[in-house]
């Protein structure tokens, strides 16, 4: 006898409800361990792989080229330390997670940036050596927002790899098949710039969710198939053996979603923010307050992120301005948050201006989806008020 209520039976009906007795592998059945072979585990693995495939599609890669990590710092570390030991070429305007990590490779050359905050591809070319394993150049700088000529650098490396196709050093023999590997840290670029890895010509690329309006605690290292890396730590086969530890499926899904959204609105946001940025810069440059006080716009005026305005007002410490602005409700950055708390001018500012004094701090205004013209106007007004007050003490 079939009950007429059958079709109305709630899903939580006891006899059909799933019994979860795998709390030891993951305490929430809504987030079972993707490594488990029961159906809830398989469903999680499926979600993870779908997120992986979506992300791959958005950057022109294949799913098995997407390695989830705990964030961009770990992804940059994996890119640098996961390669065999050898010489690394990078720049003097990298994020600390590249700058510091490169020192733990066999040898490193820091290519100096030009005064406009942009790296000359020829200089990268000239730094290559027979035992170079990696070139790592930040796509858009995190402090001054300057955009690096990634495609041109990739071309130089390809030429070099063609000219010297055979390993010429014991470091490389039998280890790096494709020649010198090219990595870019695209964390600041993700919202605004071209991300197709084929078009860019990169072998490795780092990005994360937190900088594109997503969760903390998840990042990606894109790894071209032919690049061989070894993992930084041990104890599981996850992420193709490159990143042990139970996968964070919810965060991976969030990253896929936010990357899709960033891609969708990229064009219009670039247009809108470029206008706002240029309005901001123009107002700064033509302000009465800078008649007697010098103001420096750090980094190239055109080849910079649409959301970045970074200035130095010589003689006034950046941290002081950040705190004064914060007290008036305006939240801006000084140097990289990862290096905040350290004294003196930022390394990036010193890199573009070797004469910069420790007191010549920079202030970074980085705009985003919620930023309006009214925000910029109030920010300018607040900044000018503060400068008037500070000018009595400084200068």
Write out the catalytic residue numbers. Answer: 338
Rounding to the nearest 10 degrees, give the CA dihedral for residues 12, 14, 16, 17.
60
Q: Which is nearer to its own copies, 188 or 353 (CB)?
A: 188
295 binds its own copies (CB under 8 A): no
- Using the structure block, give the residue that is written with the tokens 């993951």: 26
- List 65, 74, 239, 269, residue binding its own copies (CB under 8 A): 74
Contact set for its own copies, span 220-249 (CB under 8 A): 232-238, 244-249
269 binds its own copies (CB under 8 A): no
354 binds its own copies (CB under 8 A): no
- List 91, 148, 312, 336, residue binding its own copies (CB under 8 A): 336
Among 66, 94, 193, 80, CA closest to 132: 80
- Using the structure block, give the residue that is written with the tokens 């705990």: 70
217 binds its own copies (CB under 8 A): yes
- Torsion sign across C-alpha atoms 302, 303, 309, 314: negative
User: Structure tokens of 89?
Assistant: 């070429």
81 binds its own copies (CB under 8 A): yes
User: Structure tokens of 3?
Assistant: 């009950």
Instruction: Count CB-CB contacts under 10 A for residue 395.
Output: 13
Q: Pairing between strand 181-185 and 66-69? A: unpaired
User: Structure tokens of 243?
Assistant: 């990143």
Q: Which is nearer to its own copies, 33 or 353 (CB)?
A: 33
39 binds its own copies (CB under 8 A): yes
- List 53, 100, 274, 289, residue binding its own copies (CB under 8 A): 100
- 263 with 52: CB under 8 angstroms? no
183 binds its own copies (CB under 8 A): no
- List 31, 58, 289, 296, residue binding its own copies (CB under 8 A): 31
Among 232, 254, 250, CA closest to 241: 232
- List 167, 315, 319, 350, residue binding its own copies (CB under 8 A): 319
- List 240, 275, 331, 388, residue binding its own copies (CB under 8 A): 331
99 binds its own copies (CB under 8 A): yes
């Amino acid at each position: 006898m079939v009950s007429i209520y059958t079709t109305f039976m709630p899903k939580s009906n006891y006899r059909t409800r799933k019994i979860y007795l795998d709390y030891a592998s993951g305490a929430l059945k809504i987030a079972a361990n993707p490594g488990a072979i029961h159906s809830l585990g398989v469903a999680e693995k499926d979600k993870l792989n779908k997120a992986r495939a979506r992300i791959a599609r958005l950057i022109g890669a294949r799913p098995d080229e997407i390695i989830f990590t705990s964030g961009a710092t770990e992804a940059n570390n994996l890119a640098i330390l996961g390669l065999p030991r050898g010489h690394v070429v990078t720049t003097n305007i990298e994020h600390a997670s590249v700058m510091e990590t490169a020192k733990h490779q066999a040898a490193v050359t820091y290519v100096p940036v030009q005064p406009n905050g942009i790296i000359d591809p020829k200089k990268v070319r000239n730094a290559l050596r027979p035992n170079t394993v990696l070139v790592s150049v930040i796509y858009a700088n995190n402090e001054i927002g300057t955009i690096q000529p990634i495609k041109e650098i990739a071309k130089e490396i390809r030429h070099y790899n063609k000219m010297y196709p055979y390993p010429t050093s014991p470091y490389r023999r039998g280890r790096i098949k494709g020649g010198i590997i090219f990595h870019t840290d695209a964390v600041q670029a993700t919202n605004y710039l071209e991300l197709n890895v084929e078009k860019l010509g990169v072998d490795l690329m780092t990005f994360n969710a937190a900088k594109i309006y997503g969760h903390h605690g998840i990042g990606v290292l894109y790894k071209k198939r032919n690049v061989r890396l070894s993992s930084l730590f041990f104890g599981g086969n996850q992420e193709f053996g490159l990143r042990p530890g139970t996968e964070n499926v919810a965060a991976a899904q969030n990253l896929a979603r936010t990357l899709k959204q960033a891609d969708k609105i990229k064009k219009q946001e670039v247009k809108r923010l470029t206008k706002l940025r240029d309005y901001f810069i123009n107002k700064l440059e033509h302000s009465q307050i800078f008649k007697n006080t010098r103001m420096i716009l750090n980094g190239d005026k055109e080849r910079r992120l649409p959301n970045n305005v970074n200035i130095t007002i010589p003689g006034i410490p950046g941290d002081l301005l950040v705190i004064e602005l914060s007290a008036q409700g305006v939240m801006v950055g000084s140097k990289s948050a990862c290096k905040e708390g350290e004294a003196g001018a930022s390394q990036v500012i010193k890199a573009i201006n070797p004469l910069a004094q420790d007191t010549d701090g920079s202030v970074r205004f980085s705009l985003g989806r919620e930023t309006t013209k009214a925000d910029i106007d109030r920010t300018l007004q607040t900044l000018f008020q503060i400068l008037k007050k500070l000018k009595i003490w400084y200068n």
